[in-house]
Structure 1
Amino acid sequence: MLNLDPAVIIIIAANVIVSIRGFKDFEFFEKYKFNIAGIKRGEQLRMLTSAFLHANNNHLLFNMLTLFFFGPIVVVYLGTVKFVLIYFASLIVGSLLSYYLHKDENHYSAIGASGAVMGVLYSAILFKPTMVINFIIPAWLFGLAYLLYSVWAMKKNADNIGHDAHIGGAIGGLGLTIAFAPSLLGTSLWVVLLMAAPIVLLFIMHKIGKI
């Protein structure tokens, strides 16, 4: 049985309420989405508010289902306060990485809770690396494959998905989880190293101009 902590429910409800408002109100959506030009004008709040907006019902549903299933795992191991900190830290790191990688693209925009949700997902993977995702995939393999795919997708730039926010969220989730539970470096060091490899690869590729 899932531990449906009030914090998980409140965050899901906030995403649903704000997203529905965004679906119906174009001006509201444009005002609060992540946009490089807007942030440069001093509208840094967009880096937070954009994570509560979604493109459509499917986008919202996917993120909230992921949070619904993996948020309680983080709550069980770390408690409510640390879960909330991981969620919002991952959100911010995801936005900061997006800004860093796209700072010269004034037109660049993004929305969605994916960065924050990825942080929670990767936190849960550290605690339960052998749990099964989608009925067949070990969590550690899913986590590794998704990060590698995100790096590949960023290089190809073939879709409109903010993969950089996903990776930033994963960095925030992994880093803060280890800070809160350093014993994981003993019990799950192999998972930490596996998850770190694609992240290191990303920054190497960015450094040499491949991304």
Structure 2
Amino acid sequence: MGLSPVVIAILLFTAIISFKGFNDMSFFSKYMFEVRAIQRNKEYIRLITSGFLHADPMHLIFNMLTLYFFSGLVIGNFGVGGFLLIYLGSILAGNIFSLYIHKDNPMYRAIGASGGVSGVLFAAIAMNPFLGIGFFFIPIPIPGYIFGALYFGYSVYMMLNPKQWDNLGHAAHLGGAVVGLLYSLLVYPEYTLQHSFQLLIMSLPLIYLGIMLFKNKR
């Protein structure tokens, strides 16, 4: 199955908007995620538009390559409509979660499609937890649920230790990933739950994060 025209359109549109942002700082600043602008000025459009901006060409290429590799599996399982719901819903949910986490930091800013890409990636993993995922520096692909556990573990650790800053929007990544997992569970509950053990192992860092956020809120 060839690349869907919808995916091609997203790749092209994201590239166009990102390159516009690279060369126009006023445009970049107007549409990036910024806590102060969203809270005080009610510029909620930034919750979506920031997902089409990127910091530099490598940031753009990494996100679009990941989307390219996993979009086919997601469309094959959920259709084009489901893919769009996951992708755009994950961008929105990731930024809303990021807004909640950084609500007391008005200067917090972020950009990138990582929330949406995470949603697509983890929807694919939910449908096949043993899906092989490789890295440039690891010659042998690792099972998707192991990758997910490591991904979640690192993201949760960095969120709970803000001094260990690495310039990544971990809250947006996690929020997007959860949308992909939940959508898969809602659409294919019986199939997804066949792999409940793997999904539970993968989700342990998320459960820990939920407990810590609940304790800090009390």
Same fold judged by TM-score > 0.5?
yes
Structure 2 stretches lacking a partner, 5+ long: 135-139
The code of the aligned residue for 1:31 comes to K
For 2:198 and 2:86, the matched residues in 1 are separated by 18
Deviation of 1:125 (Å): 0.5
Instruction: Please state if 1:7 is matched with 2:17.
Output: no
For 1:145 and 1:19, the matched residues in 2 are separated by 29
The code of the aligned residue for 2:9 comes to I
Deviation of 1:3 (Å): 3.6
Deviation of 1:185 (Å): 3.6
- Report if the CA contact (8 A) 1:86-1:177 is conserved: no
- Report if the CA contact (8 A) 2:146-2:202 is conserved: no
- Aligned structure 1 segments of 4 or more residues deviating by more than 6 angstroms: none
Alignment correspondent of 1:37: 36
- Report if the CA contact (8 A) 1:116-1:169 is conserved: yes
Deviation of 1:191 (Å): 3.0
For 2:43 and 2:23, the matched residues in 1 are separated by 22
RMSD: 1.5
Match of 1:191 among 188, 193, 198: 198
Deviation of 1:166 (Å): 0.5
The code of the aligned residue for 2:17 comes to V
Instruction: After TM superposition, list the pairs within 5 Å mapping 1:6-155 onto structure 2.
Output: 6-40=5-39, 41-134=41-134, 135-155=140-160
Aligned residues: 209
Aligned partner of residue 133 in structure 1, secondary structure: strand
Among all aligned residue pairs of Structure 1 and Structure 2, give the percentage whose two residues are the same amino acid.
Answer: 43
The code of the aligned residue for 1:20 comes to F
Range with greater deviation from structure 2 (27-36 or 3-12): 3-12
For 1:189 and 1:113, the matched residues in 2 are separated by 28
The code of the aligned residue for 1:19 comes to S
For 2:201 and 2:92, the matched residues in 1 are separated by 23
Deviation of 1:192 (Å): 2.7
For 1:11 and 1:47, the matched residues in 2 are separated by 17
For 2:97 and 2:202, the matched residues in 1 are separated by 17
Structure 1 stretches lacking a partner, 5+ long: none
Deviation of 1:184 (Å): 2.7
- Report if the CA contact (8 A) 2:17-2:53 is conserved: yes
What TM-score comes out, normalization by structure 2 length? 0.91
For 2:97 and 2:35, the matched residues in 1 are separated by 12
Deviation of 1:188 (Å): 2.0
Match of 1:173 among 180, 187, 196: 180
For 1:7 and 1:159, the matched residues in 2 are separated by 32
For 1:70 and 1:194, the matched residues in 2 are separated by 22
The code of the aligned residue for 1:28 comes to F
Deviation of 1:8 (Å): 1.3
For 1:4 and 1:15, the matched residues in 2 are separated by 16
- Report if the CA contact (8 A) 2:129-2:199 is conserved: no
The code of the aligned residue for 1:178 comes to L
